[in-house]
């Protein structure tokens, strides 16, 4: 079990659907991250929130829209996704963004786009 | 450019010792992390090195040489559950937030 909780664990959606991925942590961490991971590849950073403000947006297409309602929650809103967006989406958190703080990952949401 | 190299796959025997190497070329250096990832699961943090030398944590140790751009993860008394991918990640100087990830080393443990 991880201390970063992600829901749902699996999601299958069509290209016209709208869905949201959710992430929650109660470790008092002030930095939260979204990563995308394809099979046999390392995680690719998508977004970083530091103190509930978006710090980094790694040129991610606008069909992915992050939201940080409070310091414990992070959402990723999905709309009009493409088949190549099928991947494991990982949420992570750390005490601060940077320094020697390790990132703690959730178990991920496995997303399949039909 | 920024690059991290790890072997793609390694095989070792239960009870033995294995060393997984990682070499990096990055714009600056602010620490190196090792993560373990079992298939279909989240990466879990193993170790952090920012100064040269060896950090030991139970059966796992991690070594860093900044002058050589080199690290290794040493796993002792291997167990079947150690079969996983091991990811090396470096925090460069350009950004305090981003980690530059290696592609990972898939470790297969045989009885």
The pLDDT tens digits of the residues spanning B40-75 come to: 888 999 999 999 999 999 999 999 999 999 999 999
Distance from CA of B76 to the nearest CA of A (A): 23
At B95 the pLDDT is 59
Residues on chain B touching A110 (C-beta within 8 angstroms): 40
Strand pairing partners for B89?
B33, B101
Buried b (16+ CB within 10 A) or exposed e, A96-114: ebbeebbbbbbbbbbbebe
Kindly report, residue by residue over B18-48, the tens digit of the pLDDT: 999 999 998 888 899 999 999 888 899 999 9
Q: Do A97 and B104 touch (CB under 8 A)?
A: no
Q: How far is CA A108 from CA A18, A79, A91, B81, in A?
A: 19, 19, 7, 20
Residue pair A6/A105 in contact (Cβ under 8 Å)? The answer is no
Position B96 confidence tier, pLDDT thresholds 50, 70, 90: low
At B99 the pLDDT is 87
What distance in Å separates the CA atoms of residue B69 and residue B71, rounded to the nearest whole number?
Answer: 7
Strand pairing partners for A19?
A78
Which residue reads 């350009």 in tokens? B94
Q: Do B45 and A56 touch (CB under 8 A)?
A: no
CA R_g for chain A:
13
Number of neighbouring beta carbons within 10 Å of residue A93: 27
- The dihedrals phi and psi of B6, each to the nearest 5 degrees, come to -140, 155
At A100 the pLDDT is 77
pLDDT at B16 over 80: yes
Q: Who among B41, B95, B102 is closest to A42 (CB)?
A: B102
Which residues are CB-neighbours of A10 under 8 A, at least 6 positions away?
A: A109, A110, A112
Please indicate if any CB of chain B lies within 8 Å of the CB of A46.
no
At B40 the pLDDT is 84
Give the pLDDT of chain A (114 residues) as one tens digit per residue.
Answer: 559 999 999 999 998 889 999 999 999 999 999 999 998 899 999 999 999 999 877 789 999 999 999 999 999 999 999 999 999 999 999 998 876 788 999 999 999 999
Q: Which residue of B has its CA nearest to A44?
A: B101
Please indicate if any CB of chain B lies within 8 Å of the CB of A112.
no
Q: Who among B42, B95, B102 is closest to A2 (CB)?
A: B42
What distance in Å separates the CA atoms of residue A6 and residue A21, rounded to the nearest whole number?
Answer: 7
């Amino acid at each position: 079990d991880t201390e970063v909780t992600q829901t749902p664990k699996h999601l299958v959606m069509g290209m016209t659907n709208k869905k949201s991925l959710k992430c929650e942590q109660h470790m008092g961490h002030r930095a939260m991250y979204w990563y995308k991971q394809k099979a046999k590849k390392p995680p690719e950073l998508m977004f970083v929130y530091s103190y509930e403000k978006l710090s980094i947006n790694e040129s991610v297409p606008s069909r992915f829209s992050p939201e940080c309602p409070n310091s414990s929650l992070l959402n990723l809103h999905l709309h009009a996704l493409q088949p190549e967006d099928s991947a494991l989406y990982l949420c992570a958190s750390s005490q601060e963004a940077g320094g020697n703080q390790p990132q703690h990952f959730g178990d991920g949401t496995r997303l399949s786009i039909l | 450019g920024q690059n991290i190299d790890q072997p793609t796959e390694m095989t070792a025997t239960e009870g033995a010792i294995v060393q997984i190497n990682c070499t990096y070329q990055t714009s600056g250096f602010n620490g190196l992390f090792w993560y373990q990832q079992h298939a279909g699961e989240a990466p879990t943090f193993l170790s952090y090195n920012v100064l040269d030398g060896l950090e030991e944590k139970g059966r796992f140790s991690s070594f860093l040489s900044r002058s050589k751009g080199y690290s290794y993860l040493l796993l002792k008394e291997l167990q079947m559950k150690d079969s996983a991918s091991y990811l090396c990640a470096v925090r460069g100087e350009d950004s305090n937030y981003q980690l530059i990830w290696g592609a990972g080393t898939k470790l297969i443990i045989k009885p």
